Amino acid sequence: MLGIFRKDACALGADVVNIIEEIQPSFVRSSCYRAKANLLRCKDKNFLAQIKSDLQYAPELVNERSKKTVILNTAGIGAVGGAAAGVLGAGIAVAMASPTLLADQSVSEWRVPTIADFGDYSKWRKEEAELYLTARADFNGDGMEEIARLLINDKENKVGLFLTLESSKNSPSILLESINDKKVIKNVGIRVAPPDSYKTACGKGYGTCKADEPLEIQINYPAIDLFQYEGANSFFVWDSKGNTFRRIWMGD
């Protein structure tokens, strides 16, 4: 996660990665370590030279915090700091990352999963015609069918959830979520959640509800249900006010 922040900061010419949200992995929410940060520029270079990375985000301390929670996976996290970008801390909260637009050449680095990627976990996929790798619906209410796909990036060892907007074929595909370790494709799938009222993970009593977490949601358009086989799931729901997709945790 810190490596991603540093890469984005360098690409945008930012000087400081200011971490404002952090949530540890858990069985009931997500096996991923998640965080959110503001990328800042500093006009005063003399002051910038005095900024030091916050020691609480040293890799060993992040891992130590993660070990104290009930987790499925503990990610190895690279250090951030030095001349490229400093790392500062600012509290603990729920992370909500925005979707990332990718150019076509980036999408070309991803491939469709094969039976060989599934191993012994492929039997449950046969319940669905497209093996729970593709979901098709009008996810943003524009009257056109969009296509969500799970793809693999061998070079970066990742699984990605992509969305193609049929109404904007010349626009970049949208990367809604990426998961480190391509082996997770063995027990991860996607499906369409129809418009309806749903209790969220918070509403079902899975963990303590945060101030901005609803107990129940009403979705007016189909949502993308990203799920772990016999595990947690989350919806990617179209937010018409923000003109983007919002991720909401739904189950254990």
Encode pLDDT of 122-163 as tens digits: 778 888 888 899 999 999 888 888 899 999 999 999 999 998
Between 56 and 46, the more confident residue is 46
Per-residue pLDDT tens over the stretch 106-125? 567 899 988 888 876 677 88
- pLDDT exceeds cutoff 90 at 210: no
Whole-Å CA distances, 6 to 13, 64, 88, 179: 10, 21, 12, 18
Q: Where among 89, 124, 148 does a domain terminate?
A: 89
Residue 127 belongs to a domain? yes
- Bigger pLDDT: 183 vs 58: 183
Whether residue 74 sits in one domain with residue 148: no
Residue 38 lies in a domain: yes
- Per-residue pLDDT tens for 48-73? 777 777 766 766 667 666 665 543 34
129 and 32 share a domain? Answer: no
Check whether residue 139 and residue 240 sit in a common domain: yes
Answer with the one of 89, 119, 148 that is the final residue of a domain. 89
Q: pLDDT band at residue 205, thresholds of 50, 70 and 90?
A: confident
Length of the chain: 252
The pLDDT value given to residue 153: 92
Distance CA 217, CA 240 (A): 14
Asked if residue 179 is part of any domain, the answer here is: yes
User: Same domain, yes or no, for 35 and 127?
Assistant: no
Same-domain pairing of 22 and 145 = no
Together in a domain, 141 and 244: yes
The answer on 170 and 125 residing in a single domain is yes
Given a cut of 90, is residue 170 above it in pLDDT? no
Q: Is residue 95 part of a domain?
A: no
**Alpha carbon 110 to chain centroid distance?**
17
Of 89, 114, 144, the domain-final residue: 89
**Dihedral, CA of residue 58, residue 63, residue 68 and residue 74, to nearest 10:** 160
SS (H, E, C) the chain: CHHHHHHHHHHHCCCEEEEEEEECCCCCCCCCCEEEEEEECCCCHHHHCCCCCCHHHCHHHHHHHHHCCCCCCCCCCCCCCCCCCEEEECCCECCCCCCEEECHHHHCCCECCCHHHHHHHCHHHHHCCCCCCEEEECCCCCCCCEEEEEEEECCCCEEEEEEECHHHCCCCEEEEEEEECHHHHHHEEEEEECCEEEECCCCCCCCCCCCCCCCEEEECCCEEEEEECCCCEEEEEEECCCCEEEEEECCC
Are 120 and 61 within one domain?
A: no
Residues 110 and 60 in one domain: no
Domain that holds residue 118: 100-249
Q: pLDDT value at position 36?
A: 83
pLDDT for the residue 157? 93
Q: What is the pLDDT of residue 104?
A: 41
Give the global pTM.
0.57
pLDDT at 18 over 70: yes
The count of domains in the chain is: 2
User: Per the domain annotation, does 9 fall within a domain?
Assistant: yes
Provide the residue type at 178 as one letter. S
Instruction: Answer yes or no: is 83 within a domain.
Output: yes
Neighbours of 40 (CB within 10 A): 16
Q: Domain for residue 193, yes or no?
A: yes
Contact (Cβ atoms closer than 8 angstroms) between residue 162 and residue 173: yes
Assess if residue 94 is contained within a domain: no
Strand 216-219 vs strand 158-164: parallel, antiparallel, or unpaired? unpaired
Higher-confidence residue of 79 and 147: namely: 147
Whether 82 and 182 share a structural domain: no
Mean pLDDT of the chain: 75
Whole-number pLDDT of residue 133: 92
Do 214 and 120 sit in the same domain of this protein?
yes
Tell me: do 127 and 205 sit in the same domain. Answer: yes
